[in-house]
Chains A and B, each alone.
Chain A
Amino acid sequence: MHIVVCIKQVPDTSDVKINPETNTLIREGVVSIINPFDENAVEAALVLKEKLGAKVTVMTMGPPQAESALRETIALGVDDVVLLSDRAFAGSDTWATSYALGKGIAHLEERPDLILFGKQAIDGDTAQVGPGVAEFLNLPIITYVRKVEVEGQLAKVERVFEDGYERMEAELPLVLTVLKEMNVPRMASLRGRMKAKKAEIKKWTAAEIGADPENTGLAGSPTKVVKIFSPPKKVGGIKIEGTAALDAARTVVGKLKEQKVI
C-alpha cells in the first residue's frame, strides 16, 4: 500500500502580528511551520503505515525553503519526500496548485492507494486543493474526515458535518481531507531527526513532471485577486449592565424578540 500526503509550509499565524498602520501581516521573524491540519494527515498516514505496513510519501509544492517542512516529516517517520519547486510554479492559485500536485503524484513511480490532505491551509483557508487534486486525478474524494480504517481495498471513513457525522465506505484509490480531531500528531523521534538532517530530498521541476506551462504559476491561475483588505472590525454592540443575572437575561431575551431573532 502506498499513501501520499500533500503538505504546505505556512507562516505560524499564532505568532503573526498585524501592522496597525497598514493592516497587513508582519512577516519578518515569523517562523514557518507545517500547516497544522496537514500534520494530522501525516499522522493518519503513519498510523496506517504502522498497522498495515504501508509506504508513506510526502509531497509539497513550494519555494526551496519548503524543504525544511519535508525534513520535519522524515523525522516523524515518512519514507520518501518530494519537493515540487520551480519558478514556473510561483503565484499559483488553488487551481494551478492542484494541477501541479496532480501532475507530481501522477509522476510517482508507485501509484498511491490513498492520498491525504489537511482539511485546509491556515494561511488561505480555501479547502480547495484536496478536492482539486482529486478532480485532476479523477479519483473519488471524501472531505472533513475524522476517522479512517482500511480493510483490503476498502476504506471505512467517518465524515463530519456541523450537526453530526456519517459513516462511509469507499474503494481505494481514494482522496481524503482530514480534521484536527482525527488524531494527536506524534513528536519527531531523535533518530528520525538525525536521519532527516542527512536525507536526500527529491526535487522535481515543472518540466520533469510534464506540467504544461500554460497551466502553472500565475499564468495558469484563473483566480484574479482584485483587492486585499481586512474586514472592518466589528463595532458597537450593547453591554447589558444588570446587577442580577436574571434581569440581564430578561433584557437579552427582550432584545432578541425585538429583532425577531426568537
Chain B
Amino acid sequence: MFIQGLTDEYVDYLKDESRLIGYAEGICFPESEAQVQEVVRGAWQKDMPLTFQGARTGITAGAVPKGGWILNLSRMNRIRALRLDEAVGAFRLTVEPGILLCDLQRRLEETAFDTADWDEESLKALARFRESGPHFFSPDPTETTASLGGMAACNASGARSFRYQSMRAHVRGLRVVTQRGEVLSMRRGELVADHGEFSMHSEQGTVFTGRLPGGVPPKVSKCAAGYFLDPSMDLTDLFIGAEGTLGVITEITVGLLPLPKTIWGVMIFLPEESAAWRFIQEVRALQGKGGADLLAAVEYFDGSALNLLRGIHGGGMDDLPVLKERWNSAVYVEYHGEEEPLEQALEELCGCMERYGLQDEDAWIADHPRERERMRLFRHAVPETVNGLIAERKKMHPGLTKLGTDMAVPDERLEEMMRMYREDLNRSGLESVIFGHIGNNHVHVNIIPRDPGEYEAGKRLYLNWAARVVDWGGTVSAEHGIGKLKAPFLKLMVGESELREWMALKRVFDPKELFNPGNLFGV
C-alpha cells in the first residue's frame, strides 16, 4: 500500500489537470477505510502533511502535493450498498470515494453492480430498482473521469446543475477520517449546528466542538469557494466543498433521480451578445410559468467561441453544421420532463424568439439522442479548442497557461458582469472566449495569451474582475474550487480576518494543519 520516496512511475501523481507540479515524500493507495485510518494516524505521529487525491481532474491544483505523503483513493472504488428510502420513494447509493463518475453512470445505465459484498437489504433494493425504470445521478462536471470523493470535496456541478443543483444537494451522508485517524459518520438531517455552535462525536468517542465563522455568504446559486457556513447548517455540508482541509472522505451516500422521460436540447443563435444576455434572462423568467420549470440547463457561447468553431470546420469537427456569419452568440437550453408540458415550454421559447426577431433557422433542436450527442460535441469543442491553442502557444512560451475564470454573481448583476467582461476584453485586445453556465450567472472567461506580456495583462484583468464580482456579492469560484491556485481570490472574497476564523475551524479537526496544506488558505 505504501511507497516511500517517489520513483519515476509515480511522477504523474505530482500533478493534476491544472498542470502545476508538486513534490512529495511518499504515496499510498489504501483499499479500505481501516487502511486510510492507519495512514492518517501514522501521519499524525510523524507530523507528516497529507494530500488527498481522487482522480486528479481538478484544475485548481487541489490534489497537487506540497511535500509530505500523498493519500490516493483510486483503489477505494466499490459501490457498497443500495437503499430505497421508502418515505420519499428515492434510491440512495453508498460508494467509496475513488469510484469514477463515468463508471457510476455506466453501472446505473446498465443496472449492473458487483453485488458480491452487498447485504440483504441492498439486494432487495436492487430488485426494486430494476423495476423502477431508469435512474441517473445528476451532478456532472463534464469531466466524467472525476471521482465521487473529489466531486464531494469540491462541491462539483455542471450544466444541469441549473435545475438539479450541485453535488451538495445529492449527498445524503458521508464518512470522513479526520485527525489521529478518527472517523466521523454523518447522515443528512441528523446533526445540525445550533446558532452557529456545533458539536460532533467521532466513532472513537472524541467530541469536536466549535463555533462557525460568521460572515455573509455570497448570494449566488452555485458556489465552490471554501466552507459552506450557516448558523443552523447540516454538518454534512461542512465537509462538502471543504476540499479535504478537514479530513478525507471515505464513503459517500448519494441520491439518485428517475431519468426524465423526454430530454430536449435547443441551441439558439443571436446576432448580438447583448441581446443574448437579455434573452437569457427572459427565458429564465419563464421559469415557473407554464411548462418552463422544466428548464434543466442554460448555457452561453460568445461570438469568439463561435468564431473558434468556424475556424476548425473541416479540421476534425466535420460533424458540425455550418454556423451562419450573422450569428454572434449562442444560447443552449435543455428541457427535461414529460412530452406534453415540454411542448408548451417550447411554445413559450418560440414566443420569446419572436420578440427578439429571430428566424426559424436561428434555433436548432435536438430531441433524438444522436442529435443531442452532436450538440454535446459542439459544446465541448469550445474548451477543447482553447486547450489546443494554449498547448500550441506553450511551445513558444513554456510559461503560458490558460487564464480561466469561474466566478458567479447574483441574478440582478448578470448583464453588468457580462458587459464588464466584454468591454475590458475589447479594450485589452487579448484573445479570449466566454462560455458556460450562464443560467446560474456563471460563465468561464478563457483568456488565451499569445506571449508572457499578455499573460500578465490577463492576470491583472482577472484580479480586477474578482474584486468587482466580490463587491457585487458574487463568488470567486462557482464550481472549480479554490485549491491552491485561487487561494488569493478566496482571501479577497472572505477577507483576512474571517479567513483566520476559517483556519480556527479547520484546526478543530486538523490542529496540526496536516490535511491538504495550501488548499483554501494558500501556501
Query: A190 near B363 (CB under 8 angstroms)?
Result: yes
Closest CB in chain B relative to A241 CB, distance in Å: 23
A75 at the interface (CB under 8 A from B): yes
B369 to chain A, nearest CB (A): 7
**Is B205 interfacial (CB 8 A cutoff)?**
no
In the assembly, what is the distance between CA of A171 and CA of B300, in Å?
47
Q: Determine the residue in chain A with the shortest Cβ distance to B317.
A: A184
Q: Which residues of A contact B375 (CB under 8 A)?
A: 187
- Given known A-B contacts A12-B370, A33-B370, A187 and B364 have beta carbons under 8 A apart: yes
Instruction: Report yes or no: B370 in contact with A189, Cβ–Cβ below 8 A.
Output: no
Q: Does chain B have a CB within 8 A of A167?
A: no
CB pair B367–A193 under 8 Å, yes or no, is yes
Chain A's closest residue to B321 (CB) is A186
Minimum distance in angstroms from B234 CB to a CB of chain A: 40
Q: Does A255 contact B (CB under 8 A)?
A: no
Task: Return the chain A residue nearest B375 by Cβ.
Answer: A187
Q: Which residues of A contact B360 (CB under 8 A)?
A: 77, 189-192
Give residues of chain A (119-148) contacting chain B, Cβ–Cβ below 8 Å. Answer: none
Distance in Å from the Cβ of B280 to the closest Cβ of chain A?
Answer: 16
* Chain A 176-206 residues near chain B, CB threshold 8 A: 184-194, 197
Are the C-beta atoms of B322 and A184 separated by less than 8 Å? yes
Q: Closest chain B residue to A187 by CB distance? A: B364
Alpha-carbon gap, A130 to B432, bound state (A): 49
Report B-chain residues with C-beta under 8 Å of the C-beta of A191.
Answer: 350, 360, 363
Q: Which of B355-371 contact A (CB under 8 A)?
A: 360-371
Report the bound CA distance from A185 to B366 in whole Å: 13
A187–B346 touching, CB < 8 Å:
no
Min Cβ gap A210→B in Å is 35
Chain B, residues 337-358, CB within 8 Å of chain A (1/0): the string is 0000001001101100100000
Choice from B267, B268, B318, B371 contacting A184 with Cβ under 8 Å: B318
Assuming the A-B contacts A186-B321, A188-B364, A191-B363, are A31 and B374 also in contact, with contact meaning beta carbons closer than 8 angstroms in the complex? no
Instruction: Output the nearest chain B residue to A43 by Cβ-Cβ distance.
Output: B321
User: Roughly how many angstroms separate A188 CA and B366 CA in the complex, as a whole number?
Assistant: 7
Contact assessment for A185 and B368 in the assembled complex, using a CB-CB cutoff below 8 Å: no
Complex interface: chain A residues within 8 A of B266 (CB):
190
In whole angstroms, how far apart are the Cα atoms of A191 and B368 in the complex? Answer: 16
A191's nearest neighbour on chain B, judged by CB, is B360
A194-B347 CB under 8 A given contacts A12-B370, A187-B365: yes
- B320 at the A interface (CB under 8 A): yes
Q: Let me know if A193 and B346 touch, CB within 8 A.
A: yes
Q: Are B322 and A197 closer than 8 Å at their CB atoms?
A: no
CA distance A59 to B347 in the complex (A): 29
Q: Is B319 an interface residue (CB 8 A)?
A: yes
Q: Which residues of B contact A194 (CB under 8 A)?
A: 343, 346-347, 350
**Most chain-A CB neighbours within 10 Å: which of B319, B320, B360?**
B360
* Chain A residue nearest in CB terms to B264: A193
Question: Which residues of B have CB within 8 Å of A185?
Answer: 321
Cα distance, A190 to B362, chains bound together (Å): 8
Interface of A is mostly: mixed
Chain B residues, Cβ within 8 Å of A184: 318-322
Report how far A191 CA is from B359 CA in the complex, Å.
9
Closest to A180 in B: B318
A187 to B347 Cα, complex, angstroms = 18
Bitwise interface map of A from 4 to 37 toward B, beta carbon under 8 Å scored 1, else 0: 0000000010000000000000000001010000
Asked if B318 contacts A190 (CB within 8 A), the reply is: no
Residue among B319, B350, B370 with most chain A CB within 10 A: B370
Say yes or no: B365 contacts A193, CB within 8 Å.
yes
B346:A190 contact, CB within 8 angstroms: yes
Residues B368 and A190 in contact, CB atoms below 8 Å apart = no
With a CB–CB cut-off of 8 A, which chain A residues contact B370?
12, 31, 33
A191 to B266, CA, bound (A): 11
Nearest-CB distance from A31 to chain B (Å)? Answer: 7
Q: Using Cβ atoms and an 8 Å threshold, which residues of chain B touch A33?
A: 368, 370
Partner pick for A187 among B349, B353, B369, B374, CB 8 A cutoff: B374
B321: chain A residues within 8 A (beta carbon): 184-187
Establish whether residues B364 and A189, one from each chain, have CB atoms under 8 Å apart when the complex forms. Answer: yes
What's the Cα separation between A190 and B363 when bound, in Å?
5
Chain A residue numbers with a CB within 8 Å of B346 are: 190, 193-194
What is the minimal beta-carbon distance from A153 to any residue of chain B, in angstroms?
Answer: 28
Most buried by B among A185, A186, A193: A193
Q: Which residues of A contact B367 (CB under 8 A)?
A: 188, 193
Chain A residues within an 8 Å CB radius of B319: 184
**B371→A190 contact, CB < 8 A:** no
| Choice from B322, B343, B365 contacting A189 with Cβ under 8 Å | B365
Residues of B within 8 A of A77 (CB): 360
Given contacts A184-B318, A185-B321, contact A197 B364 (CB under 8 A): no
Q: Which has the most chain A C-beta neighbours within 10 Å: B343, B353, B363, B375?
A: B363
Across-interface contacts of B267 in A (CB, < 8 A)? 187
Tell me the minimal C-beta distance from B460 to chain A in angstroms: 40
A186 nearest in chain B by CB position: B321
How far, in angstroms, from A221 to B152 measured CA to CA in the complex? 62
| Residues in B neighbouring A187, C-beta threshold 8 A | 267, 321, 364-366, 371, 374-375
Task: Give B456-476 as 1s and 0s: 1 = Cβ < 8 Å from A's Cβ atoms.
Answer: 000000000000000000000
Interface string of B319-333 (1 = CB under 8 A from A): 111100000000000
Q: Which of B33-88 contact A (CB under 8 A)?
A: none
A residues less than 8 Å from B318 (CB atoms)? 184
> Separation in Å of the B503 CB from the closest CB of chain A?
52
Nearest-neighbor residue (CB-CB) of B320 within chain A: A184
Which residues of chain B are within 8 angstroms of A186 by Cβ–Cβ distance? 321, 364
- Give the distance in Å from the alpha carbon of A184 to the alpha carbon of B362 in the complex: 17
Chain A residues positioned under 8 Å from B363 (CB to CB): 189-191
B81 to chain A, nearest CB (A): 29
Chain B 420-448 interface 0/1 with A at a Cβ cutoff of 8 Å (1 = within)? 00000000000000000000000000000
Give the residues from 29 to 76 in chain A that come closer than 8 angstroms, CB to CB, to chain B.
31, 33, 72, 75
Contacts A75-B365, A193-B365, A194-B350; A188 near B320 (Cβ below 8 A) = no
Q: Name the B residues within 8 Å of A197 (CB-CB).
A: 343
Residue of A nearest to B322 (CB): A184
Residues of A within 8 A of B361 (CB): 189
The 8 A CB mask of B369-380 against A (1 = contact, 0 = none) is 111001100000
Residues of B within 8 A of A193 (CB): 346, 365, 367
Given contacts A75-B365, A197-B343, contact A188 B350 (CB under 8 A): no
Instruction: Name the 4 nearest CB pairs between A and B, nearest first.
Output: A187-B364, A190-B363, A191-B360, A193-B365
A190-B350, A194-B350 known; 15 new pairs, CB 8 Å cut-off, are A31-B369, A77-B360, A186-B364, A188-B365, A188-B366, A188-B367, A188-B371, A189-B361, A189-B362, A191-B360, A192-B360, A193-B346, A193-B365, A193-B367, A194-B346
A-B contact pairs, 17 of them (CB 8 A): A31-B370, A75-B365, A184-B318, A184-B319, A184-B320, A187-B267, A187-B321, A189-B360, A189-B362, A189-B365, A190-B349, A190-B353, A190-B360, A190-B364, A190-B365, A193-B365, A194-B350
